[in-house]
Amino acid sequence: MELSQVNWEVIIPIVAPIILIQLILLAIAIIDLVRIEKVNGPKWVWILVILFVNIVGPILYFVIGRRND
Amino acid sequence: MSVVHVKNLKKNYQKHEVIKGIDFELMDKKCIALLGANGAGKTTTLQMLSGLMKPTNGEILFSGSREGDDFRHLIGYLPQHPVFYDWMTGREFLEYAGKLSGLSKKDSKKRTQELLELVGIEEAKNRRIGKYSGGMKQRLGIAQAIIHRPKLVILDEPVSALDPFGRREVLELMGRLKKETAILFSTHILNDAEEVCDEILFLHNGRLVESGTMEQLRDKHQQAKIDLEFKEDAARYADLFTALVKVQSHAIKRNKISFFVEDIELAKIGFLKVIAERNLPLVKFEISRTSLEEVFMKVVEK
Amino acid sequence: MKQWMTLLNKELLEMTRNFKWIWVPIVFILIAVMEPITAYYMPQIIDSLGDLPDGAVIELPVPSAEEVLVASLSQYNTLGLLVIILSSMGIIAGERKSGVAGLILVKPVSYTAFVTAKWAGAMLLLWISYFIGYFVSWYYVGILFDTIPFIDFIQSFFIYGLWLSFVLTITVFFNSFLKSPGAVGFLSFAAVIVLIVISGTFSKWFEWSPAQLLSYASTFIMSGPISSDVWAAIILSVSGIIMLLGGSIAIFRRKELA
Distance CA B11, CA B46 (A): 12
Q: Which residue of A has its CA nearest to C140?
A: A14
Q: Which residue of B has its CA nearest to A38?
A: B130
Query: Mean pLDDT, chain B, as a whole number?
Result: 86
- Say if CB C209 and CB C215 are below 8 A apart: no
pLDDT of A1: 47
Q: Which whole-number Å values give the CA distances from C178 to B257, C7, C45, C188, C253, in the listed order?
A: 62, 21, 46, 11, 13
Mean pLDDT across C164-168: 97
The string over C152-170, giving b where at least 16 C-beta atoms fall within 10 Å of a residue's C-beta and e elsewhere, is bbebbbebbbbbbbbbbbb
Structure confidence by residue, pLDDT tens digits, A20-35: 999 999 999 999 998 8
Q: Which residue of A has its CA nearest to C142?
A: A14
H helices then E strands: how many in chain A? 3, 0
Those residues of chain B whose CB sits closer than 8 Å to some CB in chain C are: 47, 50-54, 70, 72-73, 75-77, 79, 81-85, 87, 96-97, 99-102, 141, 144, 148
Closest approach of A15 to chain C, Cα-based (Å)? 8
Q: Say which range, B126-135, B158-167, C18-27, has the weakest mean pLDDT.
A: B158-167
pLDDT of C139: 94
**Residue A34 at interface with chain C, using a CB cutoff of 8 Å:** no
Q: Which one of A36, A67, A68, A69 makes the best mutation probe of the B interface by having the most chain B beta carbons within 10 Å?
A: A69
Closest approach of A27 to chain B, Cα-based (Å)? 20
> Residue B190: which pLDDT band, with cuts at 50, 70 and 90?
confident
Domain locations in chain C as residue ranges: 2-254
pLDDT of C160: 95
Task: Tell me if C83 and A1 make a contact (CB, 8 A cut-off).
Answer: no
Q: Identify which of A42-56, C58-72, C148-162 has the greatest average pLDDT.
A: C148-162
3-state secondary structure of B32: strand
Distance CA B131, CA B137 (A): 10
Residues of B within 8 A of A39 (CB-CB) are: none
Alpha carbon of residue B24 to chain centroid: 14
CB atoms near residue B89 (< 10 Å): 18
The percentage of chain B sitting over the pLDDT mark of 70, rounded to a whole number, equals 98
Closest approach of C20 to chain B, Cα-based (Å)? 13
Instruction: Label residue C235 exposed, middle or buried (CB < 10 Å: 0-12, 13-18, 19+).
Output: exposed
Distance CA B222, CA C242 (A): 64
3-state secondary structure of B51: coil
CB atoms near residue B298 (< 10 Å): 12
Task: Tell me if C107 and B100 make a contact (CB, 8 A cut-off).
Answer: yes
Residues of B within 8 A of A37 (CB-CB) are: 130-131
Distance CA B200, CA B208 (A): 10
Cα-flanking dihedrals φ and ψ of residue C126, to 5°? -60, -50
3-state secondary structure of C11: helix
**Residue A16 at interface with chain C, using a CB cutoff of 8 Å:** no
Residue B21: pLDDT over 80: yes
DSSP letter at B153 equals E
Task: Tell me if C30 and A18 make a contact (CB, 8 A cut-off).
Answer: yes
Distance CA C195, CA C186 (A): 14
CB atoms near residue C200 (< 10 Å): 14
Q: Identify which of B197-201, B208-212, B250-254, C153-157 has the greatest average pLDDT.
A: C153-157
Mean pLDDT across C191-210: 88
> Residue B263: which pLDDT band, with cuts at 50, 70 and 90?
confident
For chain A, the residue count is: 69
ipTM summary value: 0.89
Q: Which whole-number Å values give the CA distances from B110 to B98, B105, B113, B117, C4, in the listed order?
A: 10, 9, 5, 11, 21
Task: Tell me if B79 and C103 make a contact (CB, 8 A cut-off).
Answer: yes
Closest in C99, C108, C256 to B53, CB measured: C256
3-state secondary structure of B10: strand
Of B76, B162, B86, B148, residue with least CA distance to B111: B148
Structure confidence by residue, pLDDT tens digits, C89-115: 999 999 999 889 989 999 999 999 999
| Helix orientation angle between B90-100 and B105-119, rounded to the nearest 10 degrees | 130
Closest in A15, A66, A69 to C98, CB measured: A69
Q: Say which range, C75-89, C120-134, C194-208, has the weakest mean pLDDT.
A: C194-208
Q: Which one of A4, A10, A63, A66 makes the best mutation probe of the C interface by having the most chain C beta carbons within 10 Å?
A: A63
Neighbours of chain A (3+ CB pairs under 8 A): B, C
Closest approach of B134 to chain A, Cα-based (Å)? 16
Name the more confident of C209 and C176: C176
Instruction: Label residue B209 exposed, middle or buried (CB < 10 Å: 0-12, 13-18, 19+).
Output: middle
Q: Identify which of B35-49, B245-259, C120-134 has the greatest average pLDDT.
A: C120-134
Distance CA B86, CA C94 (A): 13
pLDDT of A69: 45
Of C234, C258, C226, residue with least CA distance to C165: C234
Task: Tell me if C95 and A69 make a contact (CB, 8 A cut-off).
Answer: yes
Task: Tell me if A18 and C37 make a contact (CB, 8 A cut-off).
Answer: yes
Of B31, B34, B38, B36, residue with least CA distance to B48: B34
Spell out where chain B has E strands: 2-13, 16-27, 31-35, 57-62, 75-78, 152-156, 182-187, 199-204, 207-213, 224-230, 247-253, 256-261, 282-289
Structure confidence by residue, pLDDT tens digits, B72-84: 889 999 998 899 9
Alpha carbon of residue B251 to chain centroid: 31
The percentage of chain C sitting over the pLDDT mark of 90, rounded to a whole number, equals 69
Residue C58: pLDDT over 70: no
Residues of C within 8 A of A66 (CB-CB) are: 18
- Say if CB C119 and CB C247 are below 8 A apart: no
The DSSP annotation for B228-279 comes to EEESS-SGGGHHHHHTTS-EEEEEEETTEEEEEES-HHHHHHHHHHHHHHHT
The DSSP annotation for C58-116 comes to ---PPPPHHHHHHHHHHHIIIIIHHHHHHHHTTTTHHHHHHSHHHHHHTSS--HHHHHH
**How many residue pairs from chains A and B have C-beta atoms closer than 8 A?**
5
Residue window 64-83, chain C: list those with CB within 8 Å of chain A: 83
Of C191, C196, C199, C193, residue with least CA distance to C172: C191
pLDDT of C95: 93
Q: Which one of A32, A35, A37 makes the best mutation probe of the B interface by having the most chain B beta carbons within 10 Å?
A: A37
> Residue B227: which pLDDT band, with cuts at 50, 70 and 90?
confident
> Residue B46: which pLDDT band, with cuts at 50, 70 and 90?
very high
Of B208, B195, B224, residue with least CA distance to B296: B208
**Residue C6 at interface with chain B, using a CB cutoff of 8 Å:** yes
pLDDT of C54: 64
Structure confidence by residue, pLDDT tens digits, C65-94: 999 999 999 999 999 999 999 999 999 999
The percentage of chain C sitting over the pLDDT mark of 70, rounded to a whole number, equals 95
Q: Domains plus CATH for chain B? A: 2-219 (3.40.50.300), 222-301 (3.30.70.1710)
Residues of A within 8 A of B131 (CB-CB) are: 37
Phi-psi sector, B4: left (phi>0), alpha (psi -120 to 50), beta: beta
